[in-house]
Structure 1
Amino acid sequence: MFNLFKKKANEIACPMDGEVIAITEVNDPVFASKAMGDGFAVEPSNGKVFSPIVGKVTSVFPTKHAIGLLSDSGAEILVHIGINTVDLAGAGFDILVTEGDAVDLTTPLAVVDLEYLKEQEKPVTTMVIWTNSEGKEINVQLGKSNAQTVIGKLK
């Protein structure tokens, strides 16, 4: 049966409701300098995190603050929730996927207690990093967006 909602392998969606910002605007020098790869970030308005791509889960960090994905087009994506949240050792994170799971733009990856992160003085900025972006480009629409909304393409 034809699926009207099938997404293209090179589309990238906003993983959370909130404000999409350039990766260079992130208040962390490692991410802002693109040392881990190109991408974008979201200043989230709630803690529901969805897959930004069609592909599969390649890793869930033991500290639950980051999830590795591989898109059907071969892009390696890291969804890094918050800044310095590795220090929380998983507190405040409820991961909803496991390694090997197939994902699309409607797949919930995690639910994060943003208020808890703020209480722990951890910025909630969530980065979407294309870790194998060398020689390629990622273009996304900046500004207010909703989770699961296509905001760009991986090229």
Structure 2
Amino acid sequence: MALNLFKKKKQPASIEIVAPVNGDIIPLEEVPDPVFNQKMMGEGIAITPSDGHFLSPVNGKIIQVPDTKHAVGILAEDGSEILIHIGLETVALKGEGFEAKVKEGDEVSVGQVLIEADLEYIRDHADTVTPIIITNSQNNGKEYRMTDAKIGTAGETVIITSTEA
């Protein structure tokens, strides 16, 4: 039994990434920002949120929460690095309208609250379209399939499925 404590945890071969927020699902190519729609940061999908409750889309570990709290990075159990970027041009809000509920190093579970956002404030000052990006999708040996669903329910609707390439 004690020997198992030091064995490296095997990563699952595939995972399902669920919607981190309620809202309309749109293809990444339709996001009005070339950094995202040209997939410069990686493969993904986007959601136009209908509320400001952003939940963990996977079980994993928080690897990034910028001071501006407009985004969160998660290392999923399969090694996928997931970036939830709340809105476009929201870094300029300097954290106003965002309340982080997690910090770097925290372990998270599907459905756990990551960030609470004042969607009305964000709508007044920026675009609320929220890209969900796999930032290491080009070099991690996995393939990603995006959903055809048009509406996402936070913590429930599978929006991206990863499998071994």
The TM-score with structure 2 as length reference comes to 0.85
Residue by residue over 1:61-119, the C-alpha shift from the partner in whole angstroms, topping out at 9 and shown as x without a partner, is 11111111100110011110000000000000011001111112121101111100111
Partner of 2:123: 118
- Where do 5+ consecutive residues of structure 1 fail to align? 1-7
Partner of 2:5: none
The alignment yields a C-alpha RMSD, in angstroms, of: 1.3
Partner of 1:82: 87
Distance 1:125 1:138 in 2: 21
Are positions 1:145 and 2:152 aligned together? yes
Are positions 1:154 and 2:162 aligned together? yes
What is the aligned length?
A: 147
Are positions 1:37 and 2:45 aligned together? no
Distance 1:113 1:133 in 2: 30
Residues 49-68 of structure 1 aligned to structure 2 (within 5 Å): 49-68=54-73
Amino acid at match of 2:154: A
Contact 1:10 1:73 in 2 (8 A): yes
- Where do 5+ consecutive residues of structure 2 fail to align? 1-11
The TM-score with structure 1 as length reference comes to 0.90
Distance 2:88 2:151 in 1: 20
Structure 1 runs (4+) greater than 2 angstroms displaced = none
What is the CA distance between 1:26 and its match in structure 2?
A: 0.6
- Kindly, what percent of the aligned residue pairs are identical? 42
Larger radius of gyration: 2
What is the CA distance between 1:54 and its match in structure 2?
A: 1.2
- Segment of structure 1 superposing worse, 122-131 or 136-145: 136-145
What is the CA distance between 1:35 and its match in structure 2?
A: 0.2
Distance 2:146 2:40 in 1: 19
Partner of 2:136: 132
Partner of 1:5: none
Distance 1:53 1:40 in 2: 15
Give the secondary-structure state (helix, strand or coil) at the position aligned to 1:124.
Answer: coil
